[in-house]
Amino acid sequence: MLTSDVKVAALGFVPVAVHFDLFDTLAKIEGPASGEDVLVAYRSSKGDKAENNVPCLRLVQDTLYAMSGLGFVDIAGDDLYSANAITKHLATMPSAQHGALHFTTEALLGAAFLMKKLKADNFEYPFKELETPYQYAYHSMGQEELAKQHTYSIMAAEGRMDSFNHFMVGKFMKTNTAPDRLKAFGYDLQSVLNEAGNGVPATMVDIGGGRGELLLDIKAAYPDLQPSDLVVQEFNQDIIEIPGITLATWNYKEDTPQPIKGALVYHLAHILHNLSDLEAARLLQKISEAMGSHSRILIHEFAKNANYAKMHSAMIALYAGRERSAVEWRQMAALAGLKVTFEAYPEFGEGLIEMRKL
């Protein structure tokens, strides 16, 4: 148990490994390589640019050693390392490296200040979304302007949002497409689409849908859907166009109603677990008020089980959010005048909760 606990410090070296492309570099080297071999290969890959961004040999050696302790690379001898399956996965799936960077930068910082935040507030809990351990970390570091901002705003100010957006596009690994996942749950999306017509629109709205990955999956499976049927609502200035998708602006955090009324489906994919119960209920109420009798909300979130306890903890530390159980989803639905009409909670991967108006 002690060995497992002390690996937390090794996580602090993950951003170093990502910054200096150590996973990519080691994966390209055939056979075991020393820290010096990796450093030479890194310098060679960067050419003239390397002169402004070169780690010292000891930093490379200690970072590789730390990564071996995490299982991200294999140790093959004294200062000898080789790529394993995880190394190669990280090298071939850049979004996974961005994800590792997120959880060892933002999440690790928030976790380090969680107890300090609780003690400072006499253990007041749950946290509020602008008063999480992450904000408290910046307060403790004397960065008061950042400490007053939402976690995403802090990340933007720190130049971290581009990396985070890359993570959200590909996540840690390739999974089934959204239509395949729904089909595996026994959810009949085709029957839902068949309801369109005679005054019922085929409109699907993905709220906070990023670069449109979910709707692009659906469009690939149902090519008859038109761009006007598929709407991503975002409030991200970096996203200006999604081919084949209609991009609309809505900041659900502001005191404005859902502008698209009576859509066939409103998707919420990994949005509600970023929100406190109060903020999640408010968002569901806004959508509920826009829904018609034919409308439904499809919530794509992880199940609240042992496999996602760490994710649950990260959502708390960063956003005052949380994963939710079946009971909690029903309570949340009732607060918004909705009822749960379909639910699937797999052990691994995204689950599905459908809500419709009472």
Catalytic residues: 273
Contacts (Cβ under 8 Å, ≥6 apart) of 1: none
Distances (CA, A) of 187 to 138, 231, 351, 357: 44, 21, 11, 18
What is the spatial distance between Cα 94 and Cα 213, in angstroms, rounded to a whole number?
A: 16
Report the C-alpha gap between 223 and 148 in whole angstroms. 45
Q: How far is CA 295 from CA 4, 148, 199, 271, in A?
A: 47, 37, 12, 19
Q: Which residue has the tokens 């394993």?
A: 84
Task: State the Cα–Cα distance between residues 233 and 250, nearest whole angstrom.
Answer: 6
The contacts of residue 81 (CB under 8 Å, 6+ apart) are 26, 32, 33, 34, 35, 38, 64, 67, 68, 73, 74, 75
Beta pairing class for 296-300 and 352-357: antiparallel
In angstroms, what CA-CA distances link 68 with 32, 40, 73, 328?
13, 20, 5, 40
Please count the residues of the chain. Answer: 358
